[in-house]
Amino acid sequence: MTTEPATLGEKRQALTASTLAFTVCFAVWTIFSIIGIKIKSQLGLNDTEFGLLVATPVLTGSLSRLFLGIWSDQYGGRIVYVSQMLFTAVAAFLLTKVTSYEMFLLAALGVGFAGGSFAVGVAYVSRWYPKEQQGTALGIFGMGNVGAAVTNFGAPFLLAAMGGRWQGVAQVYSIILAITAVLFFVLTKDDPVHAANKASGHKHPGFFEQLEPLKNLQVWRFSLYYFFVFGGYVALALWLPRYYVGAYGLDLKTAGMLAAAYALPGSIFRALGGWLSDKYGARTVMYWTFIAAVICTFIMSYPATDYTVAGIKGPIAFNITIPLGVFVGLTIVLGFFMSLGKAAVYKHIPVYYPNHVGSVGGTVGLIGGLGGFFLPVTFGIMNDVIGVWTSCFMLMTILVALALTWMHFAIRRLEKRRIPELRGPRNLPELEGLKG
């Protein structure tokens, strides 16, 4: 089926509106990283319960990505995007009416639908651009992850302006999201593919037909990549304010700003990651990402240790830990490479699965988002059980090492299929005249 080519202005308008909407959604999605600390104090929660609370919205946002992505393919991203934002705005407002821990978890599930916006946006934005430009376009759209930095940096100040009432923060967020939904509906139109389908009466494949590509192991490999680069990003964006308060004894405002220093490069350089993926290849960018991440998380996983040595004037006790400035610098480097990796993962999808961007992108986003759910919970459990703050980075090191290993051997296997000579002996053939 042929579609009318979109004008440059239409492309930019769709991309800009989608990115801004995703930014607001992401800010709402990570709201518990700040108000959750107040709720923790209010309810007297331990770290495991706190980890579950901040991760619960991520669970809904992850699981919803699959069916929201498929619905976007079927009914068009524009109407699904607006509906999702309005529903989440209502859930965020109702959050302020609950008082028990169980009801907080239930309300957090509703707020989590904000995270499903990613699958909708990927399906919507990718339809406006040709293959050779999709990496850059989706990278720009993915910059909406900066919403986590907006929350980590801005929400503590909004909380102070509200007199410490976390309910006021949630209400402001819900109103902003509802306004964003209305503006998105007014300023955008259906993507070219969906518009052409409606005009021709074309029937889109059913829900279960859209799931066919999920039989490919490759989809699940991409999902593991995203489990780290996105799930790990969300998990640390949620966990770092608590980490700075507990491990370094900082106040909430300072902790939020330092967490934003991680979240910001983890978002704004996603467009660069998309451009680099278009220019040098997504695999190359993934190698850069995983190698840098292994180095950063390994260093950050070194626990604080007390040592006692014999000195001239008797035993001297001292503590070896990562200085705050070095630690913050490592989080910034880690966030930067995670942003490149997030773009590189989604560069693969419209290339390999052009007719199933919603379902495949939704699945990869789902698994990645589950990382943002399970990892904070695991961080809290490990903190309570092991009692070592850096245990979260030990887990991250293992995770990224597994992803790097699987990727490398999968690529080597593909190379051997395309170049049969690589299957042979590694040693070079002997040269004539050098035998003796």
Give the confidence band of 435 by pLDDT, cuts at 50, 70, 90.
very low
Q: In the beta sheet, which residues pair with residue 311? A: 314
Which tops the pLDDT comparison, 258 or 359? Answer: 258
Give the confidence band of 329 by pLDDT, cuts at 50, 70, 90.
very high
Residue 241: per-residue pLDDT: 86
Q: Are 92 and 178 in contact (CB under 8 A)?
A: no
- Section 46-64 average pLDDT: 84
With 80 as the cut, is the pLDDT of residue 419 above it?
no
* Mean pLDDT for all residues in the chain: 81
Measured CA to CA, the distance from residue 141 to residue 143 in angstroms comes to: 5
Q: Which residues contact 263 (CB under 8 A, 6 or more apart)?
A: 145, 146, 148, 149, 152, 233, 237, 335
Give the confidence band of 336 by pLDDT, cuts at 50, 70, 90.
very high
Q: Are 299 and 292 in contact (CB under 8 A)?
A: no
Give the confidence band of 20 by pLDDT, cuts at 50, 70, 90.
very high
Give the confidence band of 4 by pLDDT, cuts at 50, 70, 90.
low
- Section 327-353 average pLDDT: 87
Q: In the beta sheet, which residues pair with residue 318? A: 307
Residue 427: per-residue pLDDT: 43
Provide the Cα torsion 239, 244, 249, 255; round to 10°. -100
Domains and CATH numbers, the chain: 8-194+205-417 (1.20.1250.20)
Measured CA to CA, the distance from residue 273 to residue 339 in angstroms comes to: 7
Give the confidence band of 22 by pLDDT, cuts at 50, 70, 90.
very high
Q: Using one digit for the tens of pLDDT, what is the confidence trace for 196-249?
A: 666 665 556 555 555 666 667 778 888 889 899 988 988 898 889 888 888 888
Q: Are 314 and 302 in contact (CB under 8 A)?
A: no
Q: Are 52 and 165 in contact (CB under 8 A)?
A: no
With 50 as the cut, is the pLDDT of residue 192 above it?
yes
- Section 412-421 average pLDDT: 67
With 70 as the cut, is the pLDDT of residue 347 above it?
yes
Q: Are 141 and 22 in contact (CB under 8 A)?
A: yes
With 90 as the cut, is the pLDDT of residue 252 above it?
no
Q: Using one digit for the tens of pLDDT, what is the confidence trace for 383-401?
A: 888 878 888 999 999 999 9
Residue 422: per-residue pLDDT: 44
Q: Which pair of structure tokens corresponds to residue 284?
A: 């190359």
Residue 316: per-residue pLDDT: 39
Which tops the pLDDT comparison, 267 or 125? Answer: 125
Which tops the pLDDT comparison, 144 or 23? Answer: 23
pTM of the model: 0.68
Give the confidence band of 45 by pLDDT, cuts at 50, 70, 90.
confident
Q: Using one digit for the tens of pLDDT, what is the confidence trace for 267-305?
A: 778 778 888 888 888 889 999 999 999 999 999 988 765
Cβ neighbours, 10 Å, residue 2: 6
Provide the Cα torsion 84, 89, 90, 96; round to 10°. 140
Measured CA to CA, the distance from residue 27 to residue 176 in angstroms comes to: 10
Identity of the amino acid at 225: Y
Identity of the amino acid at 52: L
Residue 285: per-residue pLDDT: 92
State the SS3 of 350-368: HHHCCCCHHHHHHHHHHHH
